[in-house]
Amino acid sequence: MSSNTPQDVPSDEELAQMSRDDLVKLGNKLDGVELVEYPDPWPVKGTRAEKRAERAVALWFLIAALAGFAFIGVFLFWPHAYVAPNTDGYFMYSLFTPMLGATLGLSILGVGVGALLYMKKFVPHEVAVQQRNDSGSSELDKATILAELADAGDRTTIARRSLIKRSAGLGAGAMGLGIGVFAIGGLVRDPWAQTESKDSLWHTGWKHEKPGEKVFLRRATGHAHEVSLVRPEDLSAGAMETVFPFRESEREDHHALSKALKRSDNPVMLIRLRSEDGRKVVKHQGQEDFNYGDYYAYTKICSHLGCPTSLYEDATNRILCPCHQSQFDALAYGKPIFGPATRKLAQLPIAVDEETGYFIARSDFIEPVGPAFWERKS
């Protein structure tokens, strides 16, 4: 409740005539605020110390701006495509993430330190004592508080410090721009571009790049450059093995060998059903010959949100995704039978190479693997 006495309160005409200083004083008085100290941080204007302080603030904002632009540059132009260890370009590639963190961190730090320094050096540190009120604000209170805020703003001298204003705008702007590019940049990818390339959203590393090319099924041994191919007799009934694409042309290419293991849509589960289960299989139209006997190959990428569906329960022939507990039926073309996934797991058409006896992929998947995206129709 306001404790203003009638003699404290000016008439509407008097209020309209009052200067901002008068309003500040009146506001303090009406609010029961006693300004014990209200020192001007720079009573003598234009001193060298004041200019030095101003330049220090501006310097931090400029650091923020430069770091913000550097972040955008790193995000857009730094080599970020995977490079295998011990090959040319690995050092630069390995710096991509640290550089993103360092430049964005420095930009945020610059804005923060600049703002703190400005508050410390230019905002008056008043000491005031105020009685608490518990009612809403009257028009009079609103007018006086606005005057007080404007006055406080003036006393920080920001209005006449164009160097600080410009550098702060530049620093905060560059930092904001960097964060915007970071947030939106990853979404700007045209899924229709290079539709036939194996690097598009429509294909995986299993895509045959030339007619007649053999793409073998390779297991991961823990050593990226070691090639271990899979034959039918390697799997016992009820077993599952995770496999990746391999081409003879890549045998000595360490970069390609590592990349094949790392590409997110490459992992495939090769499952050998028990013979009695194999007889119960229901095939999807158009995929009748995708299996090789009791061997079935399904993408490991969950059709819900793309987690690896790493769990195969041979007793029930279910493939489980640990993320949100979707389950897929390995006896029925990987169709979802439980959980949030609504699409089947893509099936890789496989065969055995007559020449070598190893498994090969007869083609890429006939549909995109993993979760849905806007342009996907199925």
Q: Of 19-27, 99-107, 182-190, 304-312, which part binds ligand FES (CB under 6 A)?
A: 304-312
Span 248-277, contacts to ligand FES by CB under 6 A: none
Residue 268, token pair as written in the block: 């495939």
Judged by CB under 6 A, the residue of 324, 342, 363, 373 near ligand FES is 324
Minimum distance, C-beta of residue 307 to ligand FES, in the bound complex (Å): 4
Residue 321 near ligand FES by CB under 6 A: yes
What is the amino acid identity at position 228? S
CB of 102 to ligand FES, least distance (A): 33
Shorter beta-carbon distance to ligand FES: residue 271 or 302: 302
Distance CA 54, CA 339 (A): 60
Rounded to the nearest 5 percent, the helix, strand and coil shares of the chain are 40, 15, 50
The piece of 27-35, 80-88, 251-259, 322-330 that touches ligand FES (CB under 6 A) is 322-330
Q: How far is CA 155 from CA 31, 52, 53, 126, 286, in A?
A: 20, 19, 16, 11, 77
Q: Minimum CB separation from ligand FES for residue 345, in Å?
A: 10
* Residue 323 contacts ligand FES per CB under 6 A: yes
CA–CA separation, 278 vs 254, rounded Å?
Answer: 38
Q: Does 343 bind ligand FES (CB under 6 A)?
A: no
Residue 163 interacts with ligand FES (CB under 6 A): yes or no = no
Q: Is 124 in the site for ligand FES (CB under 6 A)?
A: no
Q: Return d(Cα 164, Cα 83) in angstroms, integer.
A: 43
Backbone angles phi, psi at 177, to 5 degrees: -65, -45
How far is the C-alpha of 229 from the C-alpha of 257, rounded, in Å? 13
Q: Rounded to 5 degrees, what angle do the CA atoms 31, 128, 58 make?
A: 115
The verdict on 340 binding ligand FES (CB under 6 A) reads: yes
Q: Per CB under 6 A, does 326 bind ligand FES? A: yes
Asked if 174 is part of the footprint of ligand FES (rule: CB under 6 A), the reply reads: no
Q: 101 or 322: whose CB is closer to ligand FES?
A: 322
Answer yes or no: are the C-beta atoms of 64 and 77 closer than 8 Å.
no
Comparison of 191 and 306: residue with beta carbon closer to ligand FES: 306
State yes or no: residue 302 binds ligand FES (CB under 6 A): yes
**In angstroms, what is the C-alpha Rg of the chain?**
34
- Among the listed ranges 80-88, 102-110, 230-238, 303-311, the one in contact with ligand FES (CB under 6 A) is 303-311
Q: Which stretch binds ligand FES (CB under 6 A): 23-31, 86-94, 208-216, 316-324?
A: 316-324
Residue 294 pairs in a beta bridge with none
* Sequence-ordered list of residues with C-beta below 8 angstroms from that of 333, at least 6 positions apart, any chain: 282, 283, 284, 287, 344, 347
Structure token digits, residue 137: 């604000």
# of chain residues touching ligand FES (CB under 6 A)? 12
Distance CA 7, CA 280 (A): 96
Q: Which residues bind ligand FES (CB under 6 A)?
A: 302, 304-307, 321, 323-324, 326, 339-341
